[in-house]
Amino acid sequence: MKKAMSLVLAFALVLSLAACGGSSSAPAASSGAASTASSTAGAQPVAGVCWYNFGDTFIANARQTLNDAAAADGTVKVIDADSQNDVATQTSNMNNFYTQGVDYMVLNNINNNAITELIQQAKDKGVTLIFANSNSPTDEEFALYDNVYHVSSMAPQSGTIIGEALAKYWQEHPEADRNGDGKLNYVMLLGIQGHYDTTVRSEYSVKALNDAGIETEAVQEAICNYQRADAQNQMASILQARKDDVEAVIACNDDMALGAIEALKAAGFFADDASYIPVVGVDATKVGVEAIKDGTMLCTALNNPVILGNSVYNLTKLLSEGKELTQENLGMDGVTVEGHHIYINYVGITKDNTDDAAY
């Protein structure tokens, strides 16, 4: 018994190595069960939706919107399942939906190396495949099957928006160059290593600054796994080491921006106008928008989950009525239709338009 326990604990210890690196998800239970959102019977077309993670704030809102839209409209029935951020679970959920005979497969895909196979599978089953809030298939992949669609935001936009807001602040406030070296010295708070959003947000925010003619220098890049506590801890350390060099903080989401703001406050920033330091984030969470109203966070970029949920529903409805996807047929604000793509526009939120963040 003891020996077994030691083995088990040794195993836990091995896991902890991975955990030190902040692996983002706990061991997830495989759940093939799909929940039924609307249960109207009949020859109603059915859309099976695989969300990557129900616990994600953004997904929770998009999911609620989609399910509410389906319940209110009733043209298309929506059933959904949680992939729990696990490729294997996503696969079993999809198989479950195919077995149930869905007409539309809405996939918040996390299996990004298998887009071709996913399209081939949908083609074999004769089911319309809609990639939602995930990487786009390439043009060659689109060519494999007519009934493939893609609904997502343009991730680079989020980086560009916060970079431009920071550039504007920098140009209007010469005193923001605290060490007087003519360069904008920033701390970059990254989410998860290699995560698409992290990559493009960090890249395009800095690119927007450089495009505005601002010389930049990274004081430090820190991986904070999108977590507030991690950002707060690492920022405290960076400030102890190089407080005078830090002139701005770029965070790949609001939670990390807010964690950085807590550490900045503890280090004496945000006490008055003279100790203001620009911090930008992405997501426009409620607490993020509160911070903008309070005058701490400078800017955030909103990817509206309500528009995502409604776009997905309207797309399935439109297709079930035999119509083609065009900007006019979709009839929605805040999105751009290009071929089989629906692009959801990011909106920059600053203290001038905090009302736009209410959805």
Partner 1 sequence: MTTKKKFDPKQFIINNAIYLILVALVIIITVISPRFFSLDVARDILMQSAVRIVVAMGCMFIIVSGSADLSGGRMVGLTALVSASLAQQAAASLKFWPGLPELPAFVPVLVAMLVGVVLGGFNGWVVAKLKVPAFLATLGSQMIIFGFSSLYFNMEPNRSQPLGSLTQSFRDIGSASLFGVPYIVMIALVVMLIVWVLQTKTCLGKEIFAVGGNLEAARVSGINVFKIQMITYSLAGALYGLAGSMEAARTASATSAYGNAYELDAIASCIVGGCSIAGGVGTVGGVFAGVVIFNVISYGLTFIGISPYWQNVVKGLIIIGAVALDVRKYSAKK
> Residues in the site for partner 1, rule: CB under 8 A?
2, 4-6, 8-10, 12-13, 15-17, 19-27, 29, 54-57, 60-61, 64, 193, 220, 222-223, 226-229, 232-234, 236-238, 240-241, 254-255, 258-259, 262, 266, 285-287, 290
CA 142 – CA 340 distance, rounded (Å) = 9
Residue whose CB is less far from partner 1, 127 or 246: 246
CA 252 – CA 35 distance, rounded (Å) = 32
Residue whose CB is less far from partner 1, 159 or 281: 281
Residue whose CB is less far from partner 1, 102 or 189: 189
Q: Give the pair of three-digit tokens for residue 275.
A: 């100790």
3-state secondary structure of 5: helix
- Which residues partner with 209 through β-bridges? none
Q: At what angle do helices 254-266 and 286-294 cross, to 10 degrees?
A: 40
Q: At what angle do helices 196-211 and 155-172 cross, to 10 degrees?
A: 40
Residue whose CB is less far from partner 1, 323 or 351: 351
CA 115 – CA 121 distance, rounded (Å) = 10
CA 61 – CA 174 distance, rounded (Å) = 40
Report which secondary-structure segment, H or E, holds 344: strand 341-344
* Contact (CB, 8 A) for 250 and 162: yes
DSSP string over 200-268: HHHHHHHHHHHHTT--EEEEEEEE-TT-HHHHHHHHHHHHHHHGGG--EEEESSHHHHHHHHHHHHHTT
In the complex, what is the shortest distance from the CB of residue 20 to partner 1, in angstroms, rounded to a whole number? 5
Residue whose CB is less far from partner 1, 173 or 286: 286
In the complex, what is the shortest distance from the CB of residue 338 to partner 1, in angstroms, rounded to a whole number? 31
Identify the DSSP state of 136. Answer: P
Residue whose CB is less far from partner 1, 183 or 242: 242
In the complex, what is the shortest distance from the CB of residue 233 to partner 1, in angstroms, rounded to a whole number? 5
In the complex, what is the shortest distance from the CB of residue 25 to partner 1, in angstroms, rounded to a whole number? 8
In the complex, what is the shortest distance from the CB of residue 260 to partner 1, in angstroms, rounded to a whole number? 11
Q: How far is CA 132 from the centre of its chain?
A: 12
* Contact (CB, 8 A) for 71 and 103: no
* Contact (CB, 8 A) for 130 and 151: yes
In the complex, what is the shortest distance from the CB of residue 249 to partner 1, in angstroms, rounded to a whole number? 14
Q: How far is CA 151 from the centre of its chain?
A: 13
In the complex, what is the shortest distance from the CB of residue 225 to partner 1, in angstroms, rounded to a whole number? 9
In the complex, what is the shortest distance from the CB of residue 352 to partner 1, in angstroms, rounded to a whole number? 18
In the complex, what is the shortest distance from the CB of residue 36 to partner 1, in angstroms, rounded to a whole number? 18
CA 332 – CA 346 distance, rounded (Å) = 15
